[in-house]
Structure 1
Amino acid sequence: MTPTRIAVVGVGKIARDQHLPSIARSSAFELAAAVSRHGSVDGVDNFTDIETFLKERRDVPAVALCAPPMPRYDMAVSALKAGRHVLLEKPPGTTVGEVEALTELAREHGVSLFATWHSRFAPAVEPARQWLFGKTIRHVEIVWKEDVRRWHPGQAWIWEAGGFGVFDPGINALSILTAIVPSVFVTGASLEVPENRKMPIGVELSMKSLAGFDVDAVFDWRQEGPQTWEIRIDTDAGALVLADGGSRMSVDGEARPDGLEAEYDGIYERFAALMKAGKSDVDIAPLKLVADAFLVGRQVDVEPFHE
């Protein structure tokens, strides 16, 4: 099978750490171009804007949009109108409405749109979903704490309106939650916003399921030392714990076999399958939870944050 040519738009940390290595390992894709105002990739055509790329490289049918969410909508519109298949890094957009608009645009132009949630491809997520099938969930607790200086050094956009703040990692937990448990909705939120920033650095989130159980979540960007990405689900058959962002699973303290850690490899396999089938995959459930948290959340001013 001849690999599909693909371009990466936005050559920042996530592209270099995850997208480019996964494309290099993929048998389904071949990196043909990169688009970035400041970065470049050796060995391929490099462009500083997406419009020039779309005009000059009509032979590249797919693009992976890895730019921050604020400018991503306009980029996606241009690519979809040009008949390109589009992969969206998470979160897929700054609002629910714009993602829904992109979904309609992809349908109109007969191309595939894939809103990726990389944490759903962590090795223990699907085994956890299967283990939960047929069991009664009593309570879910999410603790997602990390050091923003370690994972987002110098990235000022995450603190601006539309940058999500601590929801940028927190939405990873919500993507796992919405993949493995029945529908949940937000009932309350406390958003801790530094005096010198626009987005929260800490969040306490309350949710409820139609099945009746509660979900409590804590997201925090001030964690030093060991990082914590854990989901605990108490059921009538024991307690399931997903640790390390969905990489490891245990039931009542007994570890279950680990799978291979290859989230972004799984994303590109899924993207190739969608393109081949002429389908799209745009699940906005995690984004809706974040949007609702801002709707009902109570803002709490906290001390300034400095890099």
Structure 2
Amino acid sequence: MSAIKLAIVGVGKIVHDQHLPAIAANADFELVASASRHHTVAGLPGYTSIEAMLGAVPEIDAVSLCMPPQYRYQAAQVALAAGKHVFLEKPPGATLSEVADLEALAAARGVTLFTSWHSRYAPAVQPAKAYLAAHAPTAMQVSWKEDVRQWHPNQEWIWQAGGLGVFDPGINALSIVTEILQSRIFLTRATLEFPENRDAPIAAELHFQDAAGMPVHAQFDWRQTGPQSWDIVVQTADGELKLSNGGARLWVHGVEQPLEKEAEYPSLYRRFAELVRAGRAEVDVAPLRHVADAFMLGRRKVVDAFHD
């Protein structure tokens, strides 16, 4: 079976850190080109727009779109209209309506659209999901706190409207929560903290519940210094379950569990290849819907200005 000829659009830090190694290790893909306004991938032809790239390299089968979410819809529309399979970095778009339109276009063109949620492939996630399927949760606490200066230095787009602010990492937590819970949750109240000089929040406190009233409390903060925390603690009638390090570690009843080695992005590309080979799409917007609800329902609180 021939390799899927893949192109990267939007060459930034996440591409070099995660996408390129995962693609290089996957025999299902052959990386053939890139498109980015300012950067290229060494050894590959590079173009400044997706239109120029697709015109020059028509044999491309699929594209991975890794630019900021505010600019992803137009590139995805161009790729899908050209009959290319599309991998969407998280979050899949700036709005729910954009993603719905792309889903319809992909179906009409008969190509794959994949909304990737890398944190769902963290090694603790599926064991936690299996445990909670057998032991109903009674409460959940989410703490996703990190230093934005460490993880997003000088990334102005993330502070702009549509850049999501602290929800850029927080949506990873929501992707895990929506994967491991058997019941759907909905937002009941929220507070979003906006620096006085920014259009996106630096912190958020969210309260959810499911139809039976099971509470989920989430705290996201970009002002954390020292140790970073990406933890989900779930109470059940049989004891406590804890995911830590963004889903890389798992404790059940206080005992750490053995897990597979972390392989989030390799797993994403294996899944993308499966979908392309099968002629299927996989579009899940549940984490993005919760973020949209937070902006709709959340109380706005203005806090001190933020400067990199």
TM-score by length of 1: 0.99
What does residue 100 of structure 1 align with? 100
Cα deviation 1:31-52 (Å, max 9, x = unaligned) = 1101111011111111110001
What does 1:128-143 correspond to in 2, within 5 Å?
A: 128-143=128-143
Cα deviation 1:39-81 (Å, max 9, x = unaligned) = 1111111111000111111101000000000010000000000
Cα deviation 1:6-53 (Å, max 9, x = unaligned) = 001000011111111110111111111011110111111111100011
What does residue 221 of structure 1 align with? 222
What does residue 23 of structure 2 align with? 23
Cα deviation 1:194-241 (Å, max 9, x = unaligned) = 001011000000001123200000000001111100000101111100
What does residue 306 of structure 2 align with? 305
**Distance in 2 separating the partners of 1:306 and 1:164:** 17
Cα deviation 1:90-129 (Å, max 9, x = unaligned) = 0000111110110000000000000000000001101110
What does residue 275 of structure 2 align with? 274
Report whether the alignment pairs 1:74 with 2:74.
yes
**Distance in 2 separating the partners of 1:303 and 1:63:** 40
What does residue 145 of structure 2 align with? 145
What does residue 188 of structure 2 align with? 187
What does residue 8 of structure 2 align with? 8
Task: Name the aligned partner's letter for residue 4 of structure 2.
Answer: T
Q: Secondary structure at the match of 1:282?
A: coil
What does residue 173 of structure 1 align with? 173
What does residue 40 of structure 2 align with? 40
**Distance in 2 separating the partners of 1:296 and 1:71:** 25
Q: Quick one: percent identity of the two aligned structures?
A: 53
**Distance in 1 separating the partners of 2:28 and 2:299:** 46
**Distance in 1 separating the partners of 2:80 and 2:211:** 36
What does 1:273-292 correspond to in 2, within 5 Å?
A: 273-292=274-293
The 4+ residue runs of structure 1 with deviation greater than 2 A are: none
What does residue 115 of structure 2 align with? 115
Cα deviation 1:128-167 (Å, max 9, x = unaligned) = 1011113221100000000000110110000000000000
What is the aligned residue count?
307
TM-score by length of 2: 0.99
**Distance in 1 separating the partners of 2:232 and 2:138:** 13
Unaligned runs of 5+ in 2: none
Unaligned runs of 5+ in 1: none
Higher deviation after alignment, 69-78 or 50-59: 50-59
Q: Secondary structure at the match of 2:134?
A: coil
What does residue 234 of structure 1 align with? 235
Task: Name the aligned partner's letter for residue 3 of structure 1.
Answer: A
**Distance in 1 separating the partners of 2:211 and 2:129:** 17
**Distance in 2 separating the partners of 1:77 and 1:2:** 26
What does residue 255 of structure 2 align with? 254
Q: Secondary structure at the match of 2:119?
A: helix
**Distance in 1 separating the partners of 2:239 and 2:258:** 17
Task: Name the aligned partner's letter for residue 50 of structure 2.
Answer: I
Shift of 1:303: 0.3
Task: Name the aligned partner's letter for residue 243 of structure 1.
Answer: S
**RMSD between aligned alpha carbons?**
0.7
Q: Secondary structure at the match of 1:133?
A: helix
